[in-house]
Structures are given as C-alpha cells and as structure tokens.
A and B are shown apart, each in its own frame.
Chain A
Amino acid sequence: MKTYHLPEYIVKRNVKRCNKCKLCIEQCTYGVHYYDEKEDCLLSRDEDCVNCQRCVVFCPKHAIIIKKNPLSYRKNYHWTNEAITTVKKQAETGSAILTGMGCDKPNLTYWDKLLLNASQVTNPSIDPLREPIEIRTYLGKKSKQVELALNGGEVVLETRLAPQLCLETPIMFAAMSYGAVSLNVHEALARAAVECGTYFNCGEGGLHPSLYRYEGHLIVQVASGRFGVHPEYLNAGAAIEIKIGQGAKPGIGGHLPGEKVGEEIAKMRMIPVGTDALSPAPHHDIYSIEDLKQLVYALKEATGYAKPVAVKIAAVHNVAAIASGIARSGADIIVIDGVRGATGAAPKVIRDNIGIPIEFALAVVDERLRNEGVRNEVSIVASGSIRSSADVVKAIALGADAVYIGTAALVAMGCTLCQRCYTGKCPWGIATADHEISKRLNPEDASRRLINLLNAWSIEIKEMLGGMGINSIESLRGNREQLRGIGLSESELKILNIKPAGE
C-alpha cells in the first residue's frame, strides 16, 4: 500500500561542508544516510529519520541539521499534524501505534506552576557552603514510637526497627529493564548508584549475572510476568519492588517487543528468542489489597524480613484510596508514577491519555495517609517527570520522601527523547539489546555523567533548602507552606493544598 503520510523530519546537508567521510552512514541505525556513487554525494531517506540527532552530533564538519518537515498540512488546531499522521498510519496498518518515552503533550506539567519560598530578614537562610545541610533520606516503615531500656547503665533500643534503605541524596534510578535498555546502561546506573550512595532499580527483566556485585545498591523488581525472579535475585536486592503499574501505561502490562528479545534476553527472561515478552496487566495472584498483602509477605517470607518491599503503582483517579490500601498491605514503600512517566514501549493512545500528573497524586496520597494516621507505615517515592533539582524539592514539599529518575538519567547518558525505544535500534546505544549498537554507550563515561548529574542536583537541593532556612530535608517533607501556586484554579489549589502566589 502506498504510504500517504509525509516524512516527519527532513535531513539538511550542507554539501559545501560535507567531506563525504560517511560517518553519518555508520552512526545512523535507521539507514537514513546513503552514498550515491554516480553523483559522488551523500543523500538521505528522510522518511526513516527519527530525529535522534546522532549524526548531527557526530558529523565532524557540522554539515547536518535535522528539521521538522515544514510541508505540514493546512493549519488546524483540532486536526494537528500528529492527529492526521496517526489516522493515516493506522489506516495503512490496522495496528495500535507504539511509542517510547513519556507523554509529550502540553498542559500536564504542574511543577512549573509551583513556586518555592525563601527566607528574607526573618528566619535567616542558611549558607550550604558553610553549614551542613542534611539530605540523607531513609525509606521504609517508621515506628510510631520507640521503646528504650536501661541495660547495665547502657541505653538499648527495645523496639525492632523495620528495614530501611539509606539514600545519601533523595534521588534513585527508576526501574528500566534489561532488554528495554542495554546491559551497559545497567552497568552505568549501578556504578553511579554506588558512587552516589543511592539505588538503581533493575526493572522487571531480571538481573544480569555480572551485576550481582552491586547488590547493596540494587532494587529488584517483581512484575506480573515474573521474568528473572528467583531466590538469588530476590536476595540480591536491597529492596524488592512489586510492579503493579507504571505511569506511561496504567492498566496495561509490560511489553518488550520481539525485536529486542535476543539470545541473552531470552535466557534471562526464560522465554523463546524473538517472542514478545509480555507482562500482562494484572498479577494473576493479585486481585485485591488482600492478595497484594499476600505477595508482599511471600516476598518477606522468602527473604527473611530483611529488606523493605515497595509497591509501584501508576497515578490514576482514585490513587489515594489505593495508596491507603497499600499502606495497610505490609508494604514499606509506595512508588507512584505519574502520567508523564516514560517507557520503552507503550501504545501511544494509552501513554498520552491515561493517568494523572504526579503532582496531584502525590498531594492527595500524602494528605490521605496523614489523615488516616498511617503515613509512617510507608515511605512515598514520586516518579515520572522529574527533570531538575527544583522538581525534586517541589515533590518532597508535596509529600514525597524521595524520587525516582528514569528519563533524566537516560538524557544524561545521551538520550534525545526521539521516542523510538521500541525499535531496539537506539542510535545512542541506550534502549537496545543489540550487541554492536550497545557498545556505543561506554559504562564508565555514562556513569560519570550520572554521577555529575546527581552531584549537581544535590548541591542545588542544598542551596534551595538553605534559602528556605531549612537544614534538613525532613523538615521539607510535606511542608506545603514552602509552595505557592501560579496560574492554578481554585480547585487545583485545593487539591494540591497550597496557597496561590501572593497569599
């Protein structure tokens, strides 16, 4: 069938600069660039370009730029280019449109409508360069009270404390499975987690044998497909995360396209080579909070109650009630993933239309758990859309204990959000299972970038805390006095439980 949709991007080559070195051909995994012998020049198949910017960055003569195709359809605010192209594609294939990374639609980012406070004259601010500001964070159940006893003149703790994760900075690396991302990415995340005193989550695809040495800084995930889940794996985790849902695709399961299931991935997941790895929407042993409790305790039983168990859910309409149930399920940590959370593969219509922003979810969950007197039973981790240290600080002020970053970590390593992770051809060597392509990402270099990012954010977090006159991140948690809303409706302000700017 002849395709009716237009190329999304156009490759522009400055022929005066181009020295025909053909590096662009080598770098493009989508086969866009090619050499025409007859004309002795480089040409491009624009329709295959995904605008990943790989050739642009690597061209030694800076001869290439990628442009959005200006030959767009007649301007129409309702029938956008994207809407038209999608209909045409579906008419040609009869398939659901697959996409990668997080929702790219406007008007869903509320972080930018929240402003932070600082001290002036009264309650002086603190200079983080001179005075210590504590950002270490513990995740896990907190005892309502502790009992102490005197034992031969020494004070001893009688209360048995629940296991905790200790984070030197309130930022962890979000779950990204081996298969969705390459082994080198896992290696880079693991090294950075060790260096920064935090944790990386290996996602639902199991843990490569070479990564077991990072067990002190690892969170292992258990999803409905139970890929790579065995006792050694569970014991390797500093914590275990039950994945119920994720922000990019609430209500549907995981989906690793067969293109990415090579020999290594098949072995780890114990599935045939080339098959789609499916983690269906429900865990088939969980249909209620009682069932969830059963899996939480099964994991605790299997690992001797030595590590916290987290439950990850997507932020959906009744997230507060669900979180309230999870807080009573025996789980130690609730992870909430907002509508902008990313993925390696999801139907576009689901990614862009289902779920609610993390800002609202966080606010209502924190509020609900406080009102019910169970906030101490669980730590809250916010996920999906954290782009900067300011987003981290705002999330904590809204009630989070810590955050997960996924997209930000990938961007640090080279990702340009071209949204084609599902093809397995990621030109940056990130979202690929291909042995050759994944060599493009050097774990040493990538981990250095991640470490730099976390160090930079940690400094900025301390600066912002100091500015508010707060010397410990604990005093910021759920401290909504530090937030003001700008351009928000009355009901939005009410749900976020913050005042408008100026009040």
Chain B
Amino acid sequence: MEDLTKNLEISNLKIGAVNIDAAEMCSFKLNALIRDLVKRGFKEFNLHNVSGQRYIGAGLSGNIVFKVHGIPGNDLGIFMNGPNMYVYGNVQDGCGNTMNDGLIVVYGNAGDVVGYSMRGGKIFIRGDVGYRAGIHMKGYRTAPALVIGGRAGDFLGEYMAGGVILLLGLDENAQREVKFAGTGMHGGVIYVRGEITHFGKGAKREKINENDLQLIHKLAKQFCALFNFDFDKVMEQEFIKIVPVSHRPYGKLYT
C-alpha cells in the first residue's frame, strides 16, 4: 500500500502536532492519512488549505485535537467519539452528524443539519446555522449541547428527543427569526435568547426557571470564552425555552 505519510516532513512527525497541507488531497486520501497517523499514536493535527474534503474525523475516538484551516466539506466529525475539532472557517452540511462524544468549535457559519442525531459532546458555532440544526438530537441522562451564536434556519431541533440547543442570535441586524422550531420534538430543550413567535407542531414556549438559567450560564460562558464575546452583555437579554407539548406527540394518531 502507498505510504501516505512519505511526503510529510519527518521533523513534523517527531513533535506532537502534524501539519498536513490538504490542498491537493481528495477526501479519501486525507482521511486515510489521518487514520494512519492516529494508529501510529499522533494526537494533534493542523490541517491547512482544507477545501471541501468530507468526513474529516469520521468515527475517530480518543483524545485527539484537530485544527482545521479552510472550509471542510460535509459530515465533518460524523460518528466522532471524543476528539476536539476547531475549525477556522465555515463548515458545510452535516457537521457533527451522529456524533457520540467530543467537541466541535466553528469560528464561522455551519450549513444544514448540524448536529444531526447527536448523542453526546458539544458543538459551538460562532455564526449562523442552516436548516434543521439539531434534528433528532438525543440524550439519556447525559445531554449533548449545540450552541449557535447567530441565527438558525427553520426546523431547529426537529424530532428532538434529548439534549440542549442554545440559540443566542447575537447578530443584532438579523431580520429573519427561526420558524417551526421544535417540530415533532418529544424530548430535550431549546433555549432562545430573546423572543420567537413561531413554533413547530408539538412544541411550546415556556418561561425559564433557575435550573434553566444555570445551564444557559454554563454554555454561554463557554461560548463567550471560545469566541471572545462579552458574557455580561450576552446575558443582558431574556431567554425563553421551547419544550415538547407532550412526550407522545403522535400518541393519538394510531389505534
């Protein structure tokens, strides 16, 4: 088999972090290289010139750190189980898809279905996200968290079964508010900074309580530390929460 590591500078391999120039690599080659290096025990990766390569970090477990420069393609961190991933750019669709554990921090915007069926770990997006963010998020005793700094597309938290979504909406100029948030949700909670008026079927708006505020504090603090926002200013505005109307939104549909 071709030695994918042969073009890397050996000096790189000796120190902890591996620098990989992804400019001329297709998804498969880049991921094969990463898998190979992970097998050899490397734990820190700086990926440069990333441009649309898919599945980065797919299914990887353990204490690994990725610093991604550029725009990774779809399914970044899919099935990921522990690694921490920092993206200095935007991400495309399916970021954190069915992620089991770990951390994804995006310093730009994210595409559609970010955090699809997330089971654990945390995702922080500095900017906006596309449609159906946090769809099918799950949780059993522990809860995955998705924090969005900007605004979200429609159907935020659709079919949500567990976990926490925090929508901060920090872009004051944003005109459009999320519609159909929480459609068909039967578990979990969506926190929204400010007010929204349009909910999905099966979801309702509620006032937050002390426990909610604690959770919001914790997540917002982490968010502000990561992206350099003024925590006090972020917390100036009120929050609301969206929860399921019932745990069985379709319970009466069938006999």
Contact = CB atoms under 8 A, between A and B. Distances in A.
A482 to B, nearest CB: 42
A257 interface: yes
Q: Is the interface of B mostly helix, strand, loop or mixed?
A: loop
B39 to A, nearest CB: 9
Contacts of A302: 55, 58-59, 78-79
Given A95-B253, A284-B113, A294 B119 contact: no
Interface in B235-255: 247-255
Nearest to B97: A285
Interface string B25-62: 00110010001000000000000000000110011110
Given A230-B119, A301-B55, A303-B59, A275 B140 contact: no
B38 to A, nearest CB: 11
Given A270-B140, A301-B31, A229 B117 contact: yes
A477 interface: no
Categorize the interface residue count of chain A: 35 or more
A97 interface: yes
B253 A301 contact: no
Contact of A284 (B59, B116, B138): B116
A422 B255 CA distance: 10
A227 B100 CA distance: 12
Residue from the set A96, A270, A271 with the largest chain B CB neighbour count within 10 Å? A270
A280 B159 CA distance: 9
Contacts of B161: 269-272, 275
Given A231-B79, A272-B161, A297-B54, A96 B100 contact: no
B136 interface: yes
A234 interface: yes
B122 interface: no
A278 B81 contact: no
B84 interface: no
Nearest to B155: A284
Contact of A304 (B35, B79, B81, B159): B35
Interface residues of B, number: 47
Contacts, number: 134
A275 B248 contact: yes
B200 interface: no
A225 B184 CA distance: 13
A232 B119 CA distance: 13
Contacts of B31: 301
Interface string B174-187: 00000000001011
A289 to B, nearest CB: 15
A270 B162 contact: yes
Residue from the set B31, B60, B140 with the largest chain A CB neighbour count within 10 Å? B140
Given A270-B140, A298-B97, A230 B255 contact: no
B151 to A, nearest CB: 20
B90 interface: no
A284 B55 CA distance: 17
A294 B75 CA distance: 8
Contacts of A298: 54-55, 58, 75, 78-79, 97
Contacts of B94: 285, 294
9 contacts: A96-B254, A229-B79, A232-B81, A234-B59, A285-B94, A285-B113, A297-B27, A298-B79, A303-B59
Closest A-B pairs by Cβ, 3 of them: A302-B59, A270-B138, A226-B117
Given A225-B117, A270-B161, 17 more contacts: A90-B255, A93-B255, A224-B136, A230-B81, A231-B60, A235-B59, A270-B119, A270-B138, A271-B161, A272-B162, A275-B187, A276-B186, A278-B250, A298-B54, A298-B55, A298-B58, A301-B58
